[in-house]
Amino acid sequence: MPRQNLTQETMPLAVARAMTGLGANIARARLRRGLKQVDLAKKTGLALGTLKRIEAGSPTTAISAYFVVLWALGLEREFANLASPDRDEEGKTLEAARQPKRASSSGSLDDDF
């Protein structure tokens, strides 16, 4: 199977919107901190072009680059919530449905031995 390149056109719309939103959020966080792109790039060790792609929400930029930028902005506490099993309501429902059913009692017990 040939490798598929992710672009805004080949990925689901919800994913494209989330990537664009994440990039915009990162740009806003950088601006709130009064950092220039070049300063944040130096702080993270990323190339300026990579940082620009992150802020644009590029789907082909490595997830580790997104994480290091979030770390540099002091937003690493958000990592724990990504794909958290505690917040996965659909997964918990499906898991519960696969659990074996317990035998039910007939309602009343008699003392007749």
Chain segment 17-31, per-residue pLDDT in tens: 999 999 999 999 999
What is the C-alpha separation between 72 and 91, in angstroms, rounded? Answer: 32
CATH at residue 59:
1.10.260.40
What is the C-alpha separation between 8 and 65, in angstroms, rounded? Answer: 19
58 is a domain residue: yes
Give ∠ CA 24-28-29 in degrees, rounded to 5.
115
Residue 34's domain comprises 13-81
pLDDT at 102 over 90: no
84 near 29, Cβ under 8 Å? no
Provide the CB-side half-sphere exposure for 110 (13 A, CA): 3
Q: What is the pTM of this model?
A: 0.77
The total of structural domains in the chain comes to 1
1 is a domain residue: no
102 is a domain residue: no
37 is a domain residue: yes
75 is a domain residue: yes
